[in-house]
Amino acid sequence: MKKKILLLTTGGTIASEQGSEGLEPHRAGVMERELNQLRTYYTVSVRDLMCLDSSNITPQEWQSIARDVFNERSGFDGIVISHGTDTMAYTASAVTFMLPDIDLPVVFTGSQLPLQDILSDGPDNLRTAFAMASAGYPGVYIAFDRKVMLGCRAVKVRASGFSAFESVNARYAAQVTNRGLVVDPTVLPRRRGPARLAEKISQDVFLVKLTPGLSPTIFDALVRMGCKGIVLEAFGLGGVNVLNEGLRGIRAAVRAGTSVVVTTQCLYDSSDLRVYQVGSRLLELGVIQGRDMTSEAALTKLMWAIGQGMDQNQIADLFATNLAGEITAEDEK
């Protein structure tokens, strides 16, 4: 019996055609040739949610996607979401937190070349996504270049290469080999209860990349703007300039009630503020460790936590908790 898969389309390169000013996203009709192939193996339903370049997808669209997944999931074995690659990691991370304990596979995919191009990577990516969506492993994933990764661990690392995404600090959830789709069960998220929709988020969150000599007044300005959360990409294990009042702005932000999460600019490995003096001084101020989370996951998790009405202490506890595979918790190392 064929598995029932719902395809939700949002635009992106995979559904684009050449226009007068460059590639433009279109509705699912441009995907019909490939969908006819997939219907040989699956019962496919299609719904166009939006038609946007992913650069134009905002937190409002994240919420719309999460609501549609939650409300439309009944009667399907899995859901595939076609999406532009530029912000796919942000959307997949956000949707991961908005859909706690989702009870079916939700798989994002896209392509670096439009489906209309004979050399497109889109057909392979769609086939991998549909295979994962029909495999029966609940969670939010990204399927790309014959690999499947947790949505909250994915980072876009190439602008044009077909291996556009990598799973950072976590093994792939599944890979396509000569044995078909091979799933690593140790990577899959753990369900703790019934599926819920918790789509409220706060947009009063800002991502700051630390640079040598960064003025502490940037943190003062963010607080004045009403920023409730800051993700700070620090150096190495979490190094921050502690001289020349380098910590003053962070201290003031924390005291003003702003949650400050410190991650690392290094793509791989983890921030650990306990190793160096500069990190220890940050911990004394009440900053929150981002551990081995991606910046995309840290940002969206903080947006989600504030949107759920959590205070600084609750957010600190949340960031020490592995909700869906986004961090390696202390007891999992």
Distance of CA 18 to the CA centre of its chain: 28
Express each pLDDT in 282-315 by its tens digit: 777 788 988 899 999 999 999 999 999 999 999 9
State the sign of the Cα–Cα–Cα–Cα dihedral 282, 288, 289, 294.
negative
pLDDT of residue 110: 95
Helix (H) or strand (E) holding 61: helix 59-72
The domains of the chain are located at 3-183, 205-332
The stretch 107-123 carries a mean pLDDT of 92
Dist. CA 323–CA 71, nearest whole Å? 22
- Position 265 confidence tier, pLDDT thresholds 50, 70, 90: confident
- Whether the pLDDT of residue 89 is over 80: the answer is yes
pLDDT the model gives residue 241:
54
Q: Which amino acid is at 68?
A: D
Q: In terms of DSSP bridges, do strands 205-209 and 180-183 run parallel, antiparallel, or are they unpaired?
A: unpaired
Are the beta carbons of 57 and 93 closer than 8 angstroms? no
Mean pLDDT taken over the chain: 89
For position 212, what pLDDT does the model report?
83
Site of tokens 């532009």? 84
Copy the structure tokens of residue 178.
């000569």
Q: Which residues contact 150 (CB under 8 A, 6 or more apart)?
A: 96, 139, 140, 141, 142, 167, 170, 173, 187, 189, 324, 325, 326
pTM: 0.92
Q: 47: how many CB neighbours lie within 10 A of its CB?
A: 12
Does 286 or 134 have the greater pLDDT score?
134
| Percent above pLDDT 90 for the chain | 70
In whole angstroms, what is the distance from residue 260 CA to residue 222 CA?
A: 11
In this predicted structure, the answer to whether residue 321 has a pLDDT above a threshold of 90 is: yes
Coil, helix or strand at residue 137: coil
**Quick one: average pLDDT of 207-229?**
91
Q: What is the DSSP string of 279-304?
A: HHHHHHHT-EE-TT--HHHHHHHHHH
Q: Quick one: pLDDT at residue 25?
A: 62
Residue pair 32/116 in contact (Cβ under 8 Å)? The answer is no
The pLDDT tens digits of the residues spanning 55-86 come to: 999 999 999 999 999 999 999 999 999 999 99
Neighbour-count burial for 209-235, b at 16+ CB within 10 Å, e otherwise: ebeeebebeebeebbeeebbbbbbbbb
3-183 has which fold? Rossmann fold (3.40.50)
Q: Give the mean model confidence (pLDDT) for residues 240-246.
A: 53
- 133 and 141 Cβ atoms separated by less than 8 Å: no
Contact 92, 64 (CB under 8 A): no
Q: Which residues belong to the active site?
A: 13, 85-86, 156, 276
Range 205-332 classified under CATH 3.40.80.10: no
pLDDT at 243 over 60: no
Spatial separation of the C-alpha atoms in residues 104 and 106, rounded to whole Å: 6
Q: Which two tokens stand for residue 179?
A: 């044995």
Whether residue 261 is predicted with pLDDT greater than 80 in this model: the reply is yes
**Residue 276: what pLDDT?**
46
Rounded to an integer, the average pLDDT of 216-227 is: 93
Are both 3-183 and 205-332 of the same fold? Answer: yes
pLDDT of 272: 61
Q: Where are the beta strands (DSSP E) in 88-159?
A: 105-109, 139-144, 147-150, 154-156
Residue 332 has pLDDT above 60, yes or no: no
Torsion 271-276-278-280 (CA) sign: positive
| pLDDT tens per residue, range 192-206 | 999 999 999 999 999
Is the CB of residue 267 less than 8 Å from the CB of residue 157? yes
How confident is the model over 139-165, as pLDDT tens digits? 999 999 999 999 999 999 999 899 999
Return the DSSP state at 210: -
Kind and range of the H or E element at 12? none
Q: Residue 238: pLDDT above 70? A: no
- CA distance linking residue 170 with residue 161, whole number of Å: 21
